[in-house]
Amino acid sequence: MKKFLAVILAAVIAMSMAACGSSAPAESGEEEKKALPVSTPNPEETAAPLYKDIMKPYSEIQHGKRIIFIQNTLVFSREGVFTEAEAPVAETVNYNGAEYNGYPMTAATKHLTEANTGDVTVYTRDGASSTVAAADFEAMTVLIDDFQSGNNPVLMGADGTAIENFEYAVMANGEVIASIITEEEYNVNEHLQKYGWDNTKTYNLVATDVFYIPITPEDYDEGGLRGALSGAINANFPDMIIATGKLNDVVFIEEIVG
Protein backbone atom coordinates (compact mmCIF):
# COMPACT_ATOMS: atom_id res chain seq x y z
CA MET A 1 0.00 0.00 0.00
CA LYS A 2 2.79 2.38 0.86
CA LYS A 3 4.49 1.57 -2.41
CA PHE A 4 1.24 2.26 -4.29
CA LEU A 5 0.82 5.67 -2.65
CA ALA A 6 4.44 6.53 -3.39
CA VAL A 7 3.90 5.73 -7.08
CA ILE A 8 0.75 7.90 -7.18
CA LEU A 9 2.56 10.82 -5.46
CA ALA A 10 5.48 10.62 -7.87
CA ALA A 11 3.10 10.69 -10.83
CA VAL A 12 1.31 13.79 -9.49
CA ILE A 13 4.63 15.63 -8.94
CA ALA A 14 5.78 14.74 -12.47
CA MET A 15 2.55 16.01 -14.00
CA SER A 16 2.80 19.28 -12.04
CA MET A 17 6.35 19.89 -13.23
CA ALA A 18 5.36 19.20 -16.83
CA ALA A 19 2.49 21.65 -16.58
CA CYS A 20 4.75 24.40 -15.18
CA GLY A 21 7.35 23.80 -17.87
CA SER A 22 4.86 24.07 -20.71
CA SER A 23 3.18 27.22 -19.41
CA ALA A 24 6.35 29.38 -19.03
CA PRO A 25 6.95 29.98 -22.77
CA ALA A 26 3.27 30.82 -23.23
CA GLU A 27 3.52 33.57 -20.62
CA SER A 28 6.73 34.85 -22.23
CA GLY A 29 5.05 34.84 -25.61
CA GLU A 30 2.14 36.86 -24.27
CA GLU A 31 4.53 39.48 -22.90
CA GLU A 32 6.32 39.72 -26.25
CA LYS A 33 3.03 40.18 -28.07
CA LYS A 34 2.06 42.98 -25.71
CA ALA A 35 5.39 44.76 -26.38
CA LEU A 36 4.89 44.88 -30.17
CA PRO A 37 3.54 48.16 -31.64
CA VAL A 38 -0.02 48.21 -32.82
CA SER A 39 1.04 49.47 -36.28
CA THR A 40 4.14 50.68 -38.07
CA PRO A 41 4.02 54.47 -38.79
CA ASN A 42 3.90 55.49 -42.43
CA PRO A 43 6.95 57.75 -43.12
CA GLU A 44 4.86 59.78 -45.56
CA GLU A 45 2.35 60.55 -42.79
CA THR A 46 4.96 61.58 -40.21
CA ALA A 47 7.33 63.58 -42.44
CA ALA A 48 7.00 67.38 -42.32
CA PRO A 49 5.69 68.92 -45.56
CA LEU A 50 8.22 70.58 -47.84
CA TYR A 51 8.22 74.39 -47.97
CA LYS A 52 7.72 74.41 -51.74
CA ASP A 53 4.53 72.35 -51.27
CA ILE A 54 2.96 74.74 -48.78
CA MET A 55 4.24 78.13 -49.96
CA LYS A 56 1.64 80.39 -51.48
CA PRO A 57 2.26 80.98 -55.21
CA TYR A 58 4.17 84.20 -55.78
CA SER A 59 1.44 85.48 -58.11
CA GLU A 60 -1.07 85.23 -55.25
CA ILE A 61 0.78 87.21 -52.60
CA GLN A 62 0.62 90.97 -52.21
CA HIS A 63 3.92 92.57 -53.20
CA GLY A 64 5.60 95.27 -51.15
CA LYS A 65 8.42 97.61 -52.09
CA ARG A 66 11.49 96.06 -53.63
CA ILE A 67 15.25 96.16 -53.78
CA ILE A 68 15.90 95.14 -57.38
CA PHE A 69 19.23 93.65 -58.44
CA ILE A 70 19.80 95.14 -61.84
CA GLN A 71 22.02 92.43 -63.37
CA ASN A 72 19.31 89.77 -63.02
CA THR A 73 16.75 91.97 -64.79
CA LEU A 74 18.96 92.35 -67.87
CA VAL A 75 19.79 88.75 -68.72
CA PHE A 76 17.33 85.86 -68.90
CA SER A 77 18.09 82.90 -66.63
CA ARG A 78 14.80 81.17 -65.78
CA GLU A 79 11.21 81.92 -66.67
CA GLY A 80 9.23 83.58 -63.92
CA VAL A 81 9.77 87.31 -63.31
CA PHE A 82 9.99 87.66 -67.08
CA THR A 83 10.07 85.29 -70.03
CA GLU A 84 12.88 84.76 -72.50
CA ALA A 85 10.84 86.63 -75.10
CA GLU A 86 10.56 89.60 -72.71
CA ALA A 87 14.28 89.75 -71.95
CA PRO A 88 15.88 93.04 -73.08
CA VAL A 89 18.08 92.95 -76.14
CA ALA A 90 21.46 94.63 -75.75
CA GLU A 91 22.76 97.15 -78.24
CA THR A 92 26.41 97.96 -78.78
CA VAL A 93 27.33 101.34 -77.30
CA ASN A 94 30.74 103.02 -77.60
CA TYR A 95 31.85 104.82 -74.46
CA ASN A 96 35.31 106.26 -73.82
CA GLY A 97 36.75 104.28 -76.71
CA ALA A 98 35.38 100.91 -75.53
CA GLU A 99 32.39 98.87 -76.58
CA TYR A 100 29.69 98.08 -74.04
CA ASN A 101 26.44 96.14 -74.00
CA GLY A 102 23.71 98.72 -73.55
CA TYR A 103 20.40 97.84 -71.87
CA PRO A 104 17.40 100.10 -71.25
CA MET A 105 16.97 101.12 -67.61
CA THR A 106 13.29 100.32 -67.99
CA ALA A 107 14.25 96.61 -67.93
CA ALA A 108 14.84 97.18 -64.21
CA THR A 109 12.37 99.96 -63.36
CA LYS A 110 9.41 98.02 -64.77
CA HIS A 111 9.74 95.74 -61.74
CA LEU A 112 9.26 98.57 -59.24
CA THR A 113 6.13 97.93 -57.20
CA GLU A 114 5.03 101.56 -57.34
CA ALA A 115 5.22 104.08 -60.16
CA ASN A 116 8.54 105.88 -60.32
CA THR A 117 7.86 109.58 -59.77
CA GLY A 118 9.74 112.49 -58.24
CA ASP A 119 13.53 112.44 -57.97
CA VAL A 120 15.93 109.50 -57.95
CA THR A 121 19.17 109.64 -55.95
CA VAL A 122 21.99 107.72 -57.65
CA TYR A 123 25.00 106.52 -55.62
CA THR A 124 28.39 105.44 -56.91
CA ARG A 125 31.03 103.18 -55.35
CA ASP A 126 33.04 106.10 -54.01
CA GLY A 127 30.06 107.29 -51.97
CA ALA A 128 29.21 110.23 -54.25
CA SER A 129 25.58 110.86 -55.14
CA SER A 130 23.60 112.79 -57.72
CA THR A 131 19.92 113.50 -58.17
CA VAL A 132 18.03 113.04 -61.41
CA ALA A 133 14.37 113.32 -62.30
CA ALA A 134 12.51 110.00 -62.48
CA ALA A 135 11.82 110.48 -66.19
CA ASP A 136 15.52 111.07 -66.90
CA PHE A 137 16.46 108.01 -64.86
CA GLU A 138 14.00 105.89 -66.81
CA ALA A 139 15.55 107.11 -70.08
CA MET A 140 19.07 105.98 -69.09
CA THR A 141 20.98 103.14 -70.69
CA VAL A 142 22.86 100.65 -68.49
CA LEU A 143 26.32 99.96 -69.93
CA ILE A 144 27.99 96.66 -69.01
CA ASP A 145 31.21 95.52 -70.62
CA ASP A 146 30.94 91.91 -69.41
CA PHE A 147 28.80 90.44 -66.62
CA GLN A 148 31.79 88.36 -65.49
CA SER A 149 34.36 91.17 -65.51
CA GLY A 150 33.68 92.55 -62.03
CA ASN A 151 33.45 96.08 -63.45
CA ASN A 152 30.70 98.38 -62.25
CA PRO A 153 27.92 99.41 -64.63
CA VAL A 154 27.90 102.86 -66.25
CA LEU A 155 24.62 104.76 -66.53
CA MET A 156 24.38 106.75 -69.74
CA GLY A 157 21.83 109.56 -69.92
CA ALA A 158 19.81 110.35 -73.01
CA ASP A 159 21.86 113.56 -73.35
CA GLY A 160 25.13 111.60 -73.36
CA THR A 161 26.17 112.38 -69.79
CA ALA A 162 27.34 109.37 -67.81
CA ILE A 163 27.49 108.18 -64.21
CA GLU A 164 30.34 105.71 -63.75
CA ASN A 165 30.81 103.06 -61.05
CA PHE A 166 27.10 102.75 -60.34
CA GLU A 167 26.25 101.06 -57.02
CA TYR A 168 22.57 101.77 -56.30
CA ALA A 169 19.72 104.21 -56.80
CA VAL A 170 16.92 105.10 -54.39
CA MET A 171 13.53 106.08 -55.77
CA ALA A 172 11.45 108.80 -54.15
CA ASN A 173 9.28 106.15 -52.46
CA GLY A 174 12.29 104.28 -51.05
CA GLU A 175 12.48 101.43 -53.55
CA VAL A 176 15.99 100.56 -54.67
CA ILE A 177 17.78 99.42 -57.80
CA ALA A 178 21.18 97.98 -56.87
CA SER A 179 24.19 96.39 -58.52
CA ILE A 180 26.11 93.33 -57.30
CA ILE A 181 29.19 92.60 -59.38
CA THR A 182 31.18 89.37 -59.76
CA GLU A 183 32.86 88.20 -56.53
CA GLU A 184 31.20 90.94 -54.48
CA GLU A 185 30.00 89.87 -51.02
CA TYR A 186 26.71 91.53 -50.10
CA ASN A 187 25.74 91.71 -46.42
CA VAL A 188 21.98 92.18 -46.18
CA ASN A 189 22.03 93.90 -42.78
CA GLU A 190 24.56 96.53 -43.89
CA HIS A 191 22.78 97.27 -47.14
CA LEU A 192 19.31 97.54 -45.63
CA GLN A 193 20.70 100.24 -43.35
CA LYS A 194 22.53 101.89 -46.23
CA TYR A 195 19.29 102.09 -48.23
CA GLY A 196 17.29 103.41 -45.27
CA TRP A 197 15.27 100.20 -44.92
CA ASP A 198 14.19 98.69 -41.59
CA ASN A 199 16.66 95.92 -40.69
CA THR A 200 14.39 94.55 -37.93
CA LYS A 201 11.82 93.31 -40.44
CA THR A 202 11.51 90.00 -42.28
CA TYR A 203 11.63 90.20 -46.08
CA ASN A 204 11.11 87.82 -48.98
CA LEU A 205 14.12 86.89 -51.07
CA VAL A 206 12.88 86.28 -54.61
CA ALA A 207 14.58 84.39 -57.45
CA THR A 208 14.03 84.95 -61.15
CA ASP A 209 11.82 81.83 -61.30
CA VAL A 210 9.64 83.45 -58.55
CA PHE A 211 10.58 80.88 -55.92
CA TYR A 212 10.90 82.90 -52.72
CA ILE A 213 11.98 82.37 -49.12
CA PRO A 214 11.57 84.62 -46.06
CA ILE A 215 14.75 85.96 -44.49
CA THR A 216 14.68 87.23 -40.92
CA PRO A 217 16.92 89.65 -39.00
CA GLU A 218 18.56 86.59 -37.43
CA ASP A 219 19.67 85.52 -40.92
CA TYR A 220 21.06 88.84 -42.13
CA ASP A 221 24.54 88.56 -40.63
CA GLU A 222 24.81 84.78 -40.94
CA GLY A 223 25.06 84.78 -44.71
CA GLY A 224 24.37 87.00 -47.67
CA LEU A 225 24.34 87.46 -51.40
CA ARG A 226 27.28 87.08 -53.73
CA GLY A 227 28.13 87.92 -57.30
CA ALA A 228 29.07 84.57 -58.82
CA LEU A 229 31.86 84.10 -61.35
CA SER A 230 29.17 83.31 -63.91
CA GLY A 231 27.70 86.78 -63.42
CA ALA A 232 24.68 85.48 -61.51
CA ILE A 233 23.65 86.77 -58.07
CA ASN A 234 23.17 83.96 -55.55
CA ALA A 235 22.25 83.77 -51.86
CA ASN A 236 23.61 81.57 -49.10
CA PHE A 237 22.31 81.65 -45.50
CA PRO A 238 23.85 78.54 -43.88
CA ASP A 239 21.71 78.56 -40.70
CA MET A 240 18.43 78.72 -42.60
CA ILE A 241 16.29 75.57 -42.78
CA ILE A 242 14.17 76.44 -45.83
CA ALA A 243 15.92 75.37 -49.03
CA THR A 244 19.03 74.99 -46.83
CA GLY A 245 19.37 78.75 -47.17
CA LYS A 246 20.52 78.61 -50.80
CA LEU A 247 18.83 80.54 -53.59
CA ASN A 248 20.28 81.18 -57.04
CA ASP A 249 19.52 84.05 -59.43
CA VAL A 250 18.17 86.42 -56.78
CA VAL A 251 16.36 89.35 -58.35
CA PHE A 252 14.45 91.02 -55.45
CA ILE A 253 14.42 91.60 -51.74
CA GLU A 254 10.77 92.37 -51.18
CA GLU A 255 8.69 93.78 -48.33
CA ILE A 256 6.15 91.37 -46.89
CA VAL A 257 2.69 92.88 -46.93
CA GLY A 258 -0.14 91.62 -44.72
Distance CA 10, CA 22 (A): 19
Whether residue 132 contacts residue 122, with contact meaning beta carbons closer than 8 Å, is answered with: yes
Q: In the prediction, which pLDDT does 23 show?
A: 42
If you count them, how many residues does the chain have?
A: 258
Cα gap 235→242, rounded to integer Å: 12
The confidence score (pLDDT) of residue 25 equals: 44
By CB atoms closer than 10 A (0-12, 13-18, 19+), residue 219 is buried
What confidence score (pLDDT) does residue 44 get? 53
pLDDT at 42: 59
Residue ranges of the chain with per-residue pLDDT less than 70: 1-47
User: What pLDDT, on the 0 to 100 scale, is given for residue 121?
Assistant: 98
Here the contacts of 87-96 (C-beta below 8 Å, separation 24 or greater) are: 93/141, 93/143, 93/156, 95/143, 95/154, 95/156, 95/162
Q: Kindly give the pairing relationship between strand 176-178 and strand 63-69.
A: parallel
* pLDDT value of position 230: 83
Q: What is the mean pLDDT of the chain?
A: 86
> CA torsion 198→202→207→212, rounded to 10°?
-160
Q: How many CA atoms lie within 13 A of 102 on its CB side?
A: 16
Domain ranges of the chain: 53-256
pLDDT at 24: 43
Q: What pLDDT shows up at residue 35?
A: 45
Query: What is the amino acid identity at position 115?
Result: A
Which pLDDT score, from 0 to 100, does residue 176 have? 98
Backbone angles phi, psi at 43, to 5 degrees: -55, -35
